[in-house]
Amino acid sequence: MLKSTNLKRRDTYLNKLIGFQDTEPVKVITGIRRCGKSSLLKLMISHLIETGIQEDQILEMNFESFDFRKMSSEEVYNYVQTHKAVGKKMYLFFDELQRIPSWEDAINAFRVDLDCDIYITGSNAYLLSSEYSTYLSGRCVEIKMLPLSFKEFLDFHDFSIKKSENFLGRKAISLFDKSGSPCDSRQVFQAYLQFGGMPGISDIGLDQEKALALLDGIYSTVVIRDILEREKRRGQRQLTDSVLLRKIVLFLADNIGSNVSATSIGNILTNEGLLEESKRRGKPSVHTVQAYINALIESYFFYDIKRFDIKGKELLRTLGKYYIVDIGLRNYLLGYRNRDSGHILENVIFLELMRRGYDVAIGKIDKLEIDFIATKADEKLYIQVTESMLNEDVRKRELAPLQKIRDNYRKLILYKANITKM
């Protein structure tokens, strides 16, 4: 049985799971490796026990464990049937189930043969929405998990927040470390921008050398194991050039928040001689570059964002942007560089909007650009992100596209001084 002792809560995701508890859809938790999916299962199991579910009703299998990793789908089915509590509803938790060939057959059989509530995690490169949606005939709900938000980062690293209000009614937020000593919120936020939000870093502390070692392990697992090795198992021969893959990773990481295309990536890598150590001859085709980009998106290492023509009210097919799943991973790949802090802030805001359930696009109005259009139900936000608003030219530049929009939805400019208040 999984234990949740000393686990930090991830209420954003836990509450979503609880909201779907005892409903028909299979709950599928996706996200980059080491972002906290297994811990979320532990938290859900703890919740079930706290609310009166008996331990014999809960069955958990981690398919990266040696005990289960070589099972067939039939053996998984038989194992559950053997260990089920007779006459009781079962709660089934399958961690990294995608390692099992034809796993979807077992899941569908459980849905038919058992009174059960099913929870699945899958590492990014195996369990893709298009695939399991087909397997499960649409009877699933996806919980997309991300690394820690800044608020979660504070919690995981044992910072405490105290809110106060002066006699004029002005509100203030103060930070304190675990010893109770006051902290500069700007410095703590800078640490977040440097180390990123991978939960495992909280176990080793904010130590640069240890953090880089942890991030190296995550990168290697995603790129080598989840992308290249997965393609081999699927019989794909398109993604075989590890040098080209790494160069594309580095290029996208270096150009977060910039308008790029598969064509431009191939041209730049070739023209700047960045593929000379590869066995590849000549420029990689647009199709090949796009295949590598798609694999990185499918692995949740990067997210793509489309451009939306505000006046034409349509998505544009050209010149989208890419954002990395974790700023710490970017710093591992490129080294920490403060000079492009504007794009780093954009990345942080993009991820936060996703956490909050917004659909996000880039806005285009005439020849000007809106950093983000965030929509959810009847809500819409137009957002500009900048390092500072002190310079008058910067103020005019950031305000200009917002002033062209003629609707009444909220229009925001976020900069470093107020970004932690989101």
Q: Which residue has the higher pLDDT, 310 or 276?
A: 310
Confidence of residue 413 (pLDDT cuts 50, 70, 90): very high
CA-based end-to-end distance of the chain: 38
Please tell me the distance from the alpha carbon of residue 364 to that of residue 384, in angstroms, as a whole number: 12
Helix (H) or strand (E) holding 48, with range, is helix 37-50
SS3 of 88-104: the string is CCEEEEEECHHHCCCHH
Please tell me the distance from the alpha carbon of residue 227 to that of residue 245, in angstroms, as a whole number: 10
Backbone phi, then psi, for 370, in 5-degree steps? -100, 130
Please check the confidence at residue 274 and state whether its pLDDT lies above 70. no
Beta bridge partners of 183: 175
Confidence of residue 1 (pLDDT cuts 50, 70, 90): very low
Contact (Cβ atoms closer than 8 angstroms) between residue 233 and residue 99: no
Structural domains of the chain ordered from first start: 11-144 (3.40.50.300), 150-204 (no CATH), 208-421 (no CATH)
Residue 294, Cβ density class (10 Å: 0-12 exposed, 13-18 middle, ≥19 buried): middle
Confidence of residue 272 (pLDDT cuts 50, 70, 90): confident
Please check the confidence at residue 3 and state whether its pLDDT lies above 60. no
Helix (H) or strand (E) holding 165, with range, is strand 160-165
pLDDT of the residue at 224: 76
Please check the confidence at residue 422 and state whether its pLDDT lies above 60. no
pLDDT of the residue at 408: 93
Stretch 78-97: mean pLDDT: 96
* pTM more than 0.85: yes
Confidence of residue 254 (pLDDT cuts 50, 70, 90): very high
Distances in Å between the Cα of 370 and the Cα atoms of 53, 256, 270, 379, 398 are 49, 16, 31, 17, 9
pLDDT of the residue at 5: 52
Confidence of residue 419 (pLDDT cuts 50, 70, 90): low
- Mean residue pLDDT of the chain comes to 88
How does pLDDT run across 157-199, given as a tens digit for each residue?
Answer: 999 998 887 767 777 788 999 999 999 998 999 999 999 999 9
Please tell me the distance from the alpha carbon of residue 367 to that of residue 108, in angstroms, as a whole number: 51
Maximum separation of any 2 CA atoms in the chain, in Å: 71
> What is the helix, strand, coil percentage profile of the chain, to 5?
45, 20, 35
Helix (H) or strand (E) holding 407, with range, is none
**Residue 310, Ramachandran bin (φ over 0: left; ψ between -120 and 50: alpha; else beta):** alpha
How does pLDDT run across 30-49, given as a tens digit for each residue?
Answer: 999 899 999 999 999 999 99
